[in-house]
Amino acid sequence: MLSGKTALITGGSRGIGRATAIEFASQGADVAIIYAGNETAAQETLDACREKGVRAMAYKCDVSDFAAAKETVAKVKADLGRIDVLVNSAGITRDKLIAMMGEEDFDSVLDVNLKGAFNMIKH
Ligand SMILES: NC(=O)c1ccc[n+]([C@@H]2O[C@H](COP(=O)([O-])OP(=O)(O)OC[C@H]3O[C@@H](n4cnc5c(N)ncnc54)[C@H](OP(=O)(O)O)[C@@H]3O)[C@@H](O)[C@H]2O)c1
């Protein structure tokens, strides 16, 4: 069991991140999720985690933004006291044939999926 531990899961509002958040909550860990903007989905994840009897908090943050990631990590520590586990699940896809894929698409994917993970690990 993970009671007394806190898991921070980026991309926790939907998909793999949501499933991971609920599993951590099932194991007794408090949960913090980061999401990009989907408030409804974030709230659904919080409700599902809280049903397991743990504390759960959601933070809107663009993980590709170094300063915003730093601020959010500090908020999580202030709210929940500690971070024991980090799961980097925030991600986007802009998959296309390379001839159709613009530079902005490529940069966006690297910014969120790669730099976002760096930012979170760093902070
Ligand atoms: N699903 C698969 O089969 C699969 C397989 C291999 C790899 N992956 C990779 O695993 C990751 C998660 O996949 P998924 O299927 O769970 O994705 P998903 O259902 O589309 O969920 C994406 C999550 O990332 C969040 N997010 C997106 N951009 C963000 C940003 N800039 N800052 C903070 N949060 C952001 C979204 O928040 P909002 O809800 O607020 O938009 C959402 O919580 C992706 O990188 C995906 O490419 C997925």
pLDDT band at 50 (very low <50, low <70, confident <90, very high): very high
- For residue 93, the ligand 1 atom closest to its alpha carbon is 47
- 81 CB less than 6 Å from ligand 1? no
What fold, for 6-122? Rossmann fold (3.40.50)
User: In this prediction, what percent of the chain has a pLDDT beyond 70?
Assistant: 100
Q: How many residues appear in the chain? A: 123
How far is residue 60's CA from residue 36's CA, in Å, rounded to a whole number?
6
Centre of ligand 1 to C-alpha 91, Å, is 4
User: How confident is the model at residue 22, as a pLDDT?
Assistant: 98
Q: CA angle, corner 25, sides to 22 and 28, nearest 5? A: 160
User: How confident is the model at residue 40, as a pLDDT?
Assistant: 98
pLDDT tens digit sequence for 64-110: 999 999 999 999 999 999 999 999 999 999 988 999 999 999 999 99
Atom 25 in ligand 1: residue holding the nearest Cα: 11
- 88 CB less than 6 Å from ligand 1? no
Strands 85-88 and 6-10: parallel
How many other β-carbons are positioned within 10 Å of the β-carbon of residue 93?
10
User: What is the biggest distance separating any 2 CA atoms in the chain, rounded to whole angstroms?
Assistant: 50
User: How confident is the model at residue 15, as a pLDDT?
Assistant: 98
What is the overall mean pLDDT for the chain? 97
Q: pTM score, two decimals?
A: 0.96
User: How confident is the model at residue 109, as a pLDDT?
Assistant: 97
- For residue 41, the ligand 1 atom closest to its alpha carbon is 39
